Amino acid sequence: MPALTIKFKNKAVGNYQLQKGASLTIGRRDDNDVVIDDPSVSGHHAKIDSMGDRFVLIDLKSKNGSFVNEQLVDSHWLNHGDVITIGGHLLVLNFSEDELRRAKKTNDFDDTLVTNSTDHRRMMARSNPNKSINVVKFWDKSQNRGTVRDIDPQASKHPSKDRKTAGVLTWLAGGKGQVQLARKITTIGKDPSSDIVVKGILIDPTTATIRLESDGYYLDYISGLSKPKVNENTVKESTILKNLDIIEIGSAKLQFSDKTP
């Protein structure tokens, strides 16, 4: 599994081995897996999700943003050598030789959604240089923490620049209301930090994702015994969503609508 080295003032202060099928949360609050005691870091700042054989960094609507290789990102498929900046700390990702070989064969996704990074210096200036990191024991996120967060319809400050985002999911069963598909990557699973939380024994922490691309929204199956269905057809590969498609994952049923002009 990839190794994540956490650095402060050019000194390594913690190491993690990312776990397949689990999530790693990063933030200032004590319930995170990586706790960064820095006033410029949000309570729940970002997370790293396992999706198949890859890992993706997702900013959790943090106040000061998450940076990968000095670029502000909303979400980013992580690669060997990537440097994540959160507050005054650096998180460096390193793959083994076997993982590097696999990554070359599967690197087909758009790696990142880049947004304006002009506030980076101001953010770093606000960071308290005297604060260090409290490395908390990695918690297997497949264990439910007992609370399910509400879906915020304004789920992202940084929608794709390639198209106007107008995709919406309407709950038909298993939930109420609507979910605005404004993020580059919308995660679906039983992990409480997922954008769309679905309960069930056969549901993985991240069972599926919906990807926003220039030509539309794509549903991707990630892992788990309960595979998603579109119009009662099991999804086995990346599937572009069409207006009024019905998506089923476990006991959840949602209808997709796209009002993009």
The DSSP letter of residue 245 is: -
What are 183-224's pLDDT values in tens digits?
A: 888 889 888 878 899 988 888 888 888 988 888 999 988 878
Which residues, given as ranges, of the chain have pLDDT below 70? Answer: 99-165, 260-261
User: Alpha helix (H) ranges present in 17-131?
Assistant: 97-106, 120-126
Helix (H, G, I), strand (E, B) or coil at 124: helix
pTM to 2 decimal places: 0.53
221 forms bridges with which residues in the sheet? 208
Cα distance between residue 189 and residue 208, in whole Å: 7
Cβ-Cβ contacts under 8 Å for 171 (sequence gap 6 or more): 177, 178, 179, 252, 253, 254
- The whole-number pLDDT of residue 91 equals 93
User: Among 2.60.200.20, 2.40.340.10, 3.20.20.110, 3.30.43.10, what is the CATH number of 167-258?
Assistant: 2.60.200.20
Fold agreement between 3-135 and 167-258: yes
- The whole-number pLDDT of residue 128 equals 46
Instruction: Determine the topology of domain 3-135 in CATH.
Output: Tumour Suppressor Smad4 (2.60.200)
Nearest Cα to Cα of residue 89 among 179, 16, 181:
16
Query: DSSP readout, 195-229?
Result: SEE---TT--SS-EEEEEETTEEEEEE-SSSS--E
